[in-house]
Amino acid sequence: MFLDNKPMMKEKIMNENSIFAQICEYIHKDTGRKNESSKLIVVIRLLILFMAVYSLINCIFIALTRNFGALAFAIASLILFIFAFLCSYHWSSFTSYCALNIYALAWTIASIVCFGWNVGVQHFIIMLLVFCFFSKYRHERAKLLYSAALLVLRIYLYYYCQSHQPVFPLGTELADFLQIINTFFVFLSLAAIAYIFSADSQELEGKLIEYNRQLVKQANTDTLTGLYNRRSTMEYLDSLLKNRNNQISICLCDIDFFKRVNDTYGHDVGDVVLKKISETFRKELPPDCFVSRWGGEEFLLIFPKLNGDEAVTALERLRQKIKAIVFDGVIETFSVSLTYGLVEYDYHSDLTTILKEADEKLYLGKESGRDRIIF
């Protein structure tokens, strides 16, 4: 029996989803006029809908008190907002915007006069204030004037309630309940305004941040290998050498007979070799080791926390790993080796001297047979 009900439940959920989708599609329906913001009309319809639902709740709970005057006002408010919602499909966005403000202000004033300050209808003035700044592009002076008018109106209504009794006094419990309902719908309206109008800008800002991150990455890394490039390496070394408490070892290494690899197997295979060796650097060297492509088949390795002897140990492990890699040259398989020139920072030499010394040791390694570490 339970299994038989499963398809029915699934169908019911799908129907509910389709109804919800139809409601969303109906709210998003365009006015059909050119050069109008579809986002603006969606927010207008949502706000009118929220206030219509709020009025419906008012009708239900005021009916329980049998205060027929208050009930008539609540029903009239509901009809007014339903009418405004339907008209939004025939009016322009600007007309709907003006109508929403006029209806909401008239309804707020009438609600305060009828029910008093304690029901919290005045909070909708803040919603109109926020909506004003989000909805209109430019028109800063008009926004400021409208904001000032809303401020004056809210203060006036507060003092009005101090000296006038509500036309339809409500019990304390009902007034408190309507205050909570008001607060809920005002927060819901503000959230809808902020979310819909800020979604695109936040997405755009996120794309700009990611784009800038990509630009920085491209400026600081080698395109082929993904390692740091020469410029970013020099910046890193400059900052590193300023701190004389750092233990630093620097290694300049070079792929042996790399020109032969390109000539024999082609540049595409040569690129594969560069990528694989770069990947091995990242995998086998200590996590804080700074690895860069210095140029061509040359790489610069910076060990910020290792002395020379410790760096030799790390390099020897790396040397063995790289020699063990077998590359597919199509016509045959082959392996490559690297020669390493290592220096330890003496806290006195400048950057140019250190790099020159590393280059000299690399040259010495090449002259003495390659595939070795000279320290």
Each residue of 1-17: pLDDT tens digit? 334 444 444 444 445 45
Which of 297, 298, 316, 332 is catalytic? The answer is: 297
CA-based end-to-end distance of the chain: 81
Distances (CA, A) of 153 to 76, 100, 132, 276: 23, 17, 16, 71
Q: For residues 280 and 175, which has the higher predicted lDDT (pLDDT)?
A: 280
* Catalytic residue flag (residue 297): yes
Query: Which among 258, 220, 234 is positioned nearest to 339, based on CA atoms?
Result: 258
Please say if the pLDDT value at position 89 is more than 70.
yes
Q: Which residues touch 226 (CB under 8 Å, ≥6 apart)? A: 278
Q: Which residues touch 99 (CB under 8 Å, ≥6 apart)? A: 84, 87, 91
Mean pLDDT of the chain: 85
Give the distance from CA 321 to its chain's centroid.
41
Each residue of 95-141: pLDDT tens digit? 888 888 999 999 999 999 999 898 888 999 999 998 888 876 667 88
